[in-house]
Amino acid sequence: MDNFGFLKVAAAIPHVSVADCTANAERIIALAEQAAQRGVEIVVYPELAVTAYTCGDLFLQSALLDAADHALSEIVKASRKLPLTLIVGMPLRHGSSLYNCAAVIAQGRVLGVVPKTYIPNYAEFYEARWFASGAGIEDETIRVAGQEADFGAGLTFEVNGVEFGVEICEDLWTTVPPSSHLAQNGAKVIFNLSASPESAGKYDYLRQLVAQQSSRTLTAYVYCSAGFGESSTDLVFAGNALIAENGIILREAERFSLEERLTVADVDIERLEFERRRNTSFRMNESTTENTVIEMEVPEGLRAAALDRDIDPLPFVPHDEKRRNERCEELFHIQAHGLARRLEHTHSTKAVIGISGGLDSTLALLVAVRTFDLLQLDRKGIIGITMPGFGTTGRTYHNALELMHGLGVTVREIPIGKACEQHFSDIGLDASDRSAAYENAQARERTQILMDTANMEGGLVVGTGDLSELALGWATYNGDQMSMYGVNASVPKTLVRHLVKWAADTEPDAATRATLLDIIDTPVSPELLPADADGKIAQKTEDLVGPYELHDFFLYNFVRAGYRPAKILLLAEQAFRGSYDRATIRKWLTVFLRRFFAQQFKRSAMPDGPKVGSVALSPRGDWRMPSDAMATIWLDDLEK
């Protein structure tokens, strides 16, 4: 495991020769050497890889079993010079029984042997003809490859500080897989040695099974199944390899390949530890019984420059268009149902929204329209108010009006210039001042108009601010930070744009669709400073606080993954390679950390609003943080 908590694992699928243990050992060693060259720390092979899975009644022959033991000795000998751990499948005799086993090997030593617990004896499987179950075996030793080794189904192994467990094929398909208990006993990675034959549709179910078990156990799950070379008398083996982490498939091998395969991924042990700390249900199920943990230190091998892992630069946005559209529709449903419940509870048939012609207020208006349609209320009950000020441009002003007219809501226009000028005079603010007071007074004037209008109409002020703005504190306290219900409060900026785009794509009115598309193309701005000489937006948010795609990446990995800044920087470099250099990422990450800590007081006083995704900052929901916490530790970590 490296300094950032990544463990490089691999599923190796050798080209086996049925019952030729010497040849199989050579292929196992060759793949182990390839794995070491790639910096792999633990590599797993298919079920019964030393002999091949399809030996049939030959498993009962002493000649085969002796050859398998000798072949394993050669593998053990070869492991002395390899800086990694091998998990190899083979048949082993113990007492008067034969067991389907996984031998865990490192540095010339057999660390332990795990027998298969569930022995399938149905359909095409008849393993009980040869193998006994390892259920109930514990605290025993077995003679293997000239060594005495621990033998038991509940063994776990700790190599260089990472605890892992092993189960074999059918064990995963049972009601309560052994890996569930292994995870409760501390294993953070599960390796499955399998020889599961193919049938139509089976692989899709297998992917779901592996992903779900990794999620249920909060583990990384490495599945490795037999491939080309197994007997095709009645069955075909596709060489399936899957590496999953907490419900996500990180890597999978090409199926039905005639070539050997080494599937490698960096699994995030630190992230799994974080998930277990935050998941109280998992902690409640942690085992109180002691199990045998076999510890071993293995010299570190090569370290790859880049992670064998895809880092998503847009963690809040599904990449697949179909899934993204489904996500957008689902989010609209959540937002609309939340607002509908609040309107119903307050016996209100009116909603008041400030419409700026920007993305956030557009999304809030679209949600309000959907809500009123859901409640079968007249859209005229939605009072959209555009409040042009000193920085309002013609583009946003006209888009605000066109959007409201196109959606059929009540349109009001209330300029704030004169009111703000009077306020500046009252408080003694110089007319040429462009400080925070100048900007925030405009935001608070708009909020006052919305609140007072809502009081007059018996309505509800619908907030427009989004999750990314809340994270950065990019909102005026008791200004646009405040509302009676914030429908966008847990929607990140990178997703807001896609939600509005989805709404545009599904909008039947061509003029309204064109307006929505132009809003999407408009630079994000609070428009609190006067426009430039050409009448264009002079105050662009991302020029001031940094790109929202970076900030959303920082937010997700800081809050949802619990990563420290140095690790976020590492991941961001890989995710945004070609878009931002290290210095730029570090600069904006520093801004994020400073603002996130300094602006907590705004989140502590944020209004109600629906949680729509895996990250939310409401003090009544996901995130609880004191308003006067210091960022020193996190900023120092970034400088290391």
- Span 338-366, pLDDT tens digits: 999 999 999 999 999 999 999 999 999 99
pLDDT digits (tens, 9 = 90+) for 610-640: 999 999 999 998 899 999 999 999 999 998 7
Answer whether residue 371 shows pLDDT above 80: yes
The percent of residues in the chain predicted with pLDDT above 90, rounded, is 88
Q: Is 119 exposed, middle or buried (0-12, 13-18, 19+ CB in 10 A)?
A: buried
Whether 505 contacts 497, CB under 8 Å: no
Provide the edge-to-edge strand list for the sheet that holds 460-463.
410-413, 382-386, 351-354, 460-463, 485-486
Q: Is 76 exposed, middle or buried (0-12, 13-18, 19+ CB in 10 A)?
A: buried
Question: Which residues, listed in sequence order, are joined to residue 227 by a DSSP beta bridge?
Answer: none
Which among 21, 55, 101, 169 is annotated as catalytic? 169
Answer whether residue 280 shows pLDDT above 90: no
Return the amino acid letter for 208. Q
Which among 8, 116, 350, 602 is annotated as catalytic? 116
The whole-number average pLDDT for the span 220-234 is 94
Which among 47, 170, 469, 507 is annotated as catalytic? 47
Sequence-separated (6 or more) residues with CB below 8 Å from residue 16 = 24, 27, 46, 49, 52, 226, 227, 229, 230
Q: What pLDDT does 17 receive?
A: 96
Secondary structure (DSSP) of 301-337: ----SS-SS---S-TTS-SSHHHHHHHHHHHHHHHHH
Q: What pLDDT does 544 receive?
A: 87
Write the DSSP symbol of residue 342.
H
Q: What pLDDT does 506 receive?
A: 93
Q: What pLDDT does 539 receive?
A: 64
Q: Please identify which residue in the block is written with the tokens 């704030």.
A: 416
Answer whether residue 123 shows pLDDT above 90: no
How many helices (H) does the chain have, and how many strands (E)? 21, 20
Cα–Cα distance between 116 and 170 in angstroms, integer? 8
Answer whether residue 276 shows pLDDT above 90: yes
Whether 486 contacts 609, CB under 8 Å: yes
Note if 167 is an active site residue.
no
Mean pLDDT estimate for the chain: 94
pLDDT band for 305, please (50, 70, 90 cuts): low
Cα–Cα distance between 239 and 230 in angstroms, integer? 10
pLDDT digits (tens, 9 = 90+) for 28-50: 999 999 999 999 999 999 999 99
> Pairing relation of β-strands 156-159 and 293-296?
parallel
Cα–Cα distance between 348 and 375 in angstroms, integer? 11
Whether 249 contacts 165, CB under 8 Å: no
Note if 116 is an active site residue.
yes
Q: Is 247 exposed, middle or buried (0-12, 13-18, 19+ CB in 10 A)?
A: middle
Query: Residue 353: enclosing H or E segment and its boundaries?
Result: strand 351-354
Helices within 185-292 (DSSP H only) = 202-217, 269-278, 280-284
Answer whether residue 455 shows pLDDT above 80: yes
User: What crossing angle do the helices spanning 565-575 and 582-598 adopt, rounded to 10°?
Assistant: 140
Secondary structure (DSSP) of 37-76: HTT-SEEE--TTTTT-TT-GGGGG-HHHHHHHHHHHHHHH
Question: Which residues, listed in sequence order, are joined to residue 545 by a DSSP beta bridge?
Answer: none
Sequence-separated (6 or more) residues with CB below 8 Å from residue 252 = 207, 240, 241, 242, 243, 263
Q: What pLDDT does 282 receive?
A: 86
pLDDT band for 431, please (50, 70, 90 cuts): confident
How far is CA 47 from its chain centroid? 30
CB environment 124-155: b (16+ within 10 A), e (fewer): ebebeebbbbbeebeeeebebbebebbbbbbb
Closest among 591, 610, 604 to 542, alpha carbons compared: 591
pLDDT digits (tens, 9 = 90+) for 53-97: 999 999 999 999 999 999 999 999 999 999 999 999 999 999 999
Query: Residue 181: enclosing H or E segment and its boundaries?
Result: helix 178-184
Cα–Cα distance between 255 and 203 in angstroms, integer? 10
Q: Which two tokens stand for residue 131?
A: 């193998």
Note if 170 is an active site residue.
no
Whether 499 contacts 491, CB under 8 Å: yes
pLDDT digits (tens, 9 = 90+) for 522-540: 888 766 667 676 666 666 7
Secondary structure (DSSP) of 69-112: HHHHHHHHHHGGG-SSEEEEEEEEEETTEEEEEEEEEETTEEEE
Whether 441 contacts 462, CB under 8 Å: no
Answer whether residue 444 shows pLDDT above 90: yes
Q: What pLDDT does 369 receive?
A: 98
Q: Residue 477 — left, alpha, or beta (φ > 0 → left; ψ -120 to 50 → alpha)? A: beta
How far is CA 579 from its chain centroid? 22
CB environment 443-453: b (16+ within 10 A), e (fewer): bbbbbebbeeb
Whether 447 contacts 480, CB under 8 Å: yes
Give the pTM: 0.93
Residue 2 C-beta-side C-alpha neighbours within 13 Å:
20
> Which domains does the chain possess?
6-296 (3.60.110.10), 321-639 (3.40.50.620)
